[in-house]
Amino acid sequence: MILGLSLENFTLLHTVISLIGILSGIVVLFAMLDGRNSPGMTALFLATTVLTSVTGFMFPSTSVTPAHIVGGISLVVLAAAIAGLYVFRLGGAWRSIYVISAVISLYLNVFVGVVQAFQKLSFLQPLAPTQSEPPFIVAQTTVLFIFVVLGFLAVRRFHPNSFGGGYPA
């Protein structure tokens, strides 16, 4: 039992939170690419992504796993994104720090999603049973490349202060 839920139900809750984080993060990323603010969706993305990492630490484990390491990195990066947005209001270098941190946070969620897909989906599992096979490496390299390109573009295009009113209001 975790938080009063069976392991199966807690896993489902964690998965749903993760998927909401990924989907809302994609919306936020595309808004940034368009130079637009998306305060409500951004708050949802940041909150669910923090919850994804926090709930990930609650699974039973007797040692530190790669998932714990990714979760820890994600929380540090999210702290920078949250500070840049809500404390420093994207002033100066904090705009870039926010964008880069938000994109890295989304990437880490997608990275874990790809890992989970290759572990859990019956049609992907045979392609990379140890996750060191070429299909897994190609998938993860492609995801990384996409996020590097989109992150670069987001840093260049997201200038909310030039659209008036700043972010957040």
Model confidence over 143-157: pLDDT tens digits?
999 999 999 999 999
- Indicate the pLDDT class of residue 164, thresholds 50, 70 and 90: very low
Helix, strand counts (H, E) of the chain: 5, 0
pLDDT at 162: 52
- Indicate the pLDDT class of residue 63, thresholds 50, 70 and 90: very high
pLDDT at 2: 86
Q: What is the dihedral of CA 37, 38, 39, 43, to 10 degrees?
A: -130
3 has a pLDDT exceeding 90 = no
| Contact criterion met (CB below 8 Å) for 116 and 22 | no
CA distances from 100 to 9, 54, 160 (A): 33, 21, 15
31 has a pLDDT exceeding 90 = yes
CA distances from 124 to 114, 118, 119 (A): 10, 5, 8
Token couple for 164: 């008036």
Model confidence over 78-100: pLDDT tens digits?
999 999 999 999 999 999 999 99
